[in-house]
Structure 1
Amino acid sequence: MSAATTSVPADARPLGRPLTANRLPKWAPAAVAAGSIALGCGIGVLGGLESHIQWGLISAVLFLAISYLLAARVEGRRQAKDRLATSMVWVAFILAVIPLLALTIYTIQQGAEVVNGNFLTHSMKGVLNSGPGGGIYHALIGTLEQVLLASLIAAPIGLLTAVYLVEYGRGRLAKAVTFFVDVMTGVPSIVAGLFILSLWNLALGFNYSGFSGSLALAILMMPVVVRSTEEMLKLVPNELREASYALGVPKWKTILRIVIPTAIGGITTGVMLAVARITGETAPVLMLVFGADYINNNPFDGPQQSLPMYIWQQYAMVNNDYGYARAWGAALVLIAFVMGLNLIARGIARWRSPKAGH
């Protein structure tokens, strides 16, 4: 019997490069990155570019180009496009992280020399702005009290508004509430300060105080709480609500006993992130709280200091080395405070998140 030759039909042949084509080694991206950085620095030196940012941008462009060309040469154009997209994601990530790291490291370098027990437990009363000494105790007290009051105002209102939108909201009223929440999310902080200044201080006649600043901060915090809580409540399965209704439980009790406890982790995380968002606000505090160099433990009477305003005053108004040092020290404490709030929010989210198998 003669051996018969079989021919593969044209429509059955693989298109393009086969899936078993050559692949770049795992160390190739790292090698390309190192070579791109070296080449970018060399171009910067030869071109007389003094800014290291320009060196970094040149290195990033070279990394993208070399990665694509090398992958297209070895693996084919389809895989090269995939590597190009991955490289662009990594470059964008690095470009976002580098400024944050630089800011954090520089703040630690500038502020670590000032932050100590005396700095944290003393105010600026009786201290010359042009001389050494002083601390941020009065600003810490003011910030904690103002943020706490704003949270006590905004958190319940935001939670109840989100419950209404998810559980009860229908028709034009719900659409109007959603629209205004979206508008308030983008309201500049200076506008919130002007509103409270016009209504609370000028129209109603109240004096400058920490509570006035808390009202403006609550306006900024409220839409963040509403949006985050609304999304968390929407994630609660409807089966839980229906099972509760089937047992004859009223709707309000179902929301109170079933829906909110199920979403409490996400709700708490949203509130903590909203608190972190308002902690560093300067404009409304500057307009409404008015600042003070002494300790004022009563947020309802008289001017009160806060960390953001303290930083601005020491850096812009004092304008000497001692003021700069105190400003950087306060900035380091403020960053640590906000970072701590974010870590607490992440811990609560992980603690309250559904576990596999439960």
Structure 2
Amino acid sequence: MKVRTRSSAIIGTICLVASLVLTTASADEPAAPRQAAKVTLKEVAKAQNPIAGAAGPGDTVWIAERAGTVRVLDHRGLSKPVLDISADTTTDGERGLLGIAFDKKFRHFYISFTNLEGTSTVDEFTVRHGRIQPATRRTVLAQTQPYSNHNGGDIRFGPDGYLYIALGDGGAGGDPHGNGQNLDTLLGKLLRIDPLGGKPYAIPPDNPFVNDPNARDEIWAYGLRNPWRFSFDAGTGDLLIGDVGQSDWEEIDWASADSKGGENYGWSSMEGSHPFRGGTEPANHVPPIHEYDRSGLGCSVTGGYVYRGKAIPALKGQYVFSDYCDGTLRALRIKNGKVTGESDLGVNGGEVVSFVQDGDGELYALNIGGSISRIDPA
């Protein structure tokens, strides 16, 4: 997106995202901090509790506001709401409008929100000439939530054209229902569905558990606590998940683009690479590629994106992320699923709840307090 002003609490309760002492769990040695790129944050717009975003048609970025509105950001600034579902959602606890996504051809628009009954819901709209058609709205997926926290809610299409949906473990604390390791529930999982292949959706035939009578067909990966933000590397197709920890460790999980799914990221037997409350590490546990403790540096990891823009060459190929409580923007160098370097980017975005990647690969940071800022070269 070329927003050329280039001169460019949900989550207070959301226990969503944590800070950055940044230990590399999978690498043989801890990654040494490095100043990889000089960046600045350029505020390009203000919104009411901006919480999620997506690259849209016609060189735009679409921004979701937690209370239920969606606005369009372009070279003119931020539009009036183009969609308003505020009458259908609640902002109790960690709830609200939590995620938005377009399919690859911008013909369908999806929203992920908590309805008035506390159910995590994904709805679809047809898009014509860049405009949402409200009359086409239909519910694709709904999942009851036992508590008002750890709802997850991020959605996006993968390189394979399927819709991925992140759901937290159901909330409270410590996964009291054991949902993370239970394959008979959608909670604590990353789902993969084909929303256009059936009513209300179809199951991709190569999902990892389609032939398992004891598992839900929709599951792509499991063992997640609150996968608040996830993304696919636009250059490689690799999957990266920022999973919010319980009380000690925040983690970033990874899977290669050629993964067949079925990864078990460990929760609630594990918190990061550490046994949780005496738990036993599952034999198939996939440890995080990166984790950091909560010793005064943060509370809730906000997963981001691998930078694929052109404005900051020194940042290209690095995974940019932050923490809701700490606000520092950081970047990881990743090679073959291992972190080879970590950088403090030298800027603080405040209460960062999400990142957005536009059609040009440039990144924006969303502060729940209202700021929408583009990451620019310093």
Q: Same fold (TM over 0.5)?
A: no
Query: Which of the two has greater strand per residue?
Result: 2
Give TM-score scaled by structure 2 length: 0.23
Query: Which of the two has greater helix per residue?
Result: 1
**Rg larger in structure:** 1
Give TM-score scaled by structure 1 length: 0.24
